[in-house]
Chains A and B, each alone.
Chain A
Amino acid sequence: DIQMTQSPSSLSASVGDRVTITCRASQTVISYLSWYQQKPGKAPNLLIYAASSLQTGVPSRFSGSGSGTEFTLTITSLQPEDFATYYCHQSYRIPYTFGQGTKLEIK
């Protein structure tokens, strides 16, 4: 199985900050990498797909980059509604796998 490792596991930041979350794959996933935001009691919500494509309706302060085994999700100018848990997900090789999550908390 392809292991997806996110760092950091948790992160404290303030409104207006810029944050970056990293996702590393144990082997290449090409660009079959997506990012999801999950709030408590809710289903995950797609933010980024194909490593760097912004899903329709997602604010432009979210961006993704990377290919192969290393990927990043960047949020510029954090808003109060951005405090949530973020997951990366590879859909290159079955079994598809998710990162363990990064919890973004208010400082």
Chain B
Amino acid sequence: QVQLQESGPGLVKPSETLSLTCTVSGASINSSFWSWIRQSPGKGLEWIGYIYYSGSANYNPSLQSRATISADTSKNQFSLRLTSVTAADTAVYYCARRRDGTGRLDYWGQGALVTVS
């Protein structure tokens, strides 16, 4: 059974960097695409970006180059860094696996609430 688990600080100060890690079990990150999605309180879902097992990544331009996704294959983890955060970045951050070329997000982490204050 594939499982994903987000970890990282729940509180970040404005202008600082948000860092989250997603630990994957039951699957190797040396395959598939690994994604970050966030959901602001009471709002909808926003795609942040993904990293492919080869190391290439794509991001939502709305984040204006503040986001970086990286992978550590030795630990079977991938990470999100979001710089220069503001209150607008307060959200529940989810990591998820994009299974294949269909784009389906078939496994998700439980989510990590990050508050910028």
Determine the main DSSP class of A at the interface with B. Answer: loop
Nearest Cβ in chain A — how far from B98, in angstroms?
Answer: 7
Which residue of the partner chain B has the closest CB to A35? B104
Query: A87 CA to B37 CA in the complex, in Å?
Result: 13
Q: Tell me whether A49 and B44 are in contact (CB under 8 A).
A: no
A50 and B102 in contact (CB under 8 A), knowing A43-B111, A95-B47, A100-B44? yes
A sample of 27 cross-chain residue pairs with beta-carbon separation below 8 angstroms, ordered by A number, consists of: A1-B62, A32-B103, A34-B102, A34-B103, A43-B109, A43-B110, A43-B111, A44-B105, A44-B108, A46-B104, A46-B106, A49-B102, A49-B106, A50-B102, A87-B44, A89-B45, A89-B47, A89-B105, A90-B103, A91-B104, A92-B103, A95-B60, A95-B61, A95-B62, A96-B103, A98-B44, A98-B46
A residues whose Cβ falls under 8 Å from a Cβ of B: 1, 32, 34, 36, 42-46, 49-50, 53, 55, 87, 89-92, 94-101
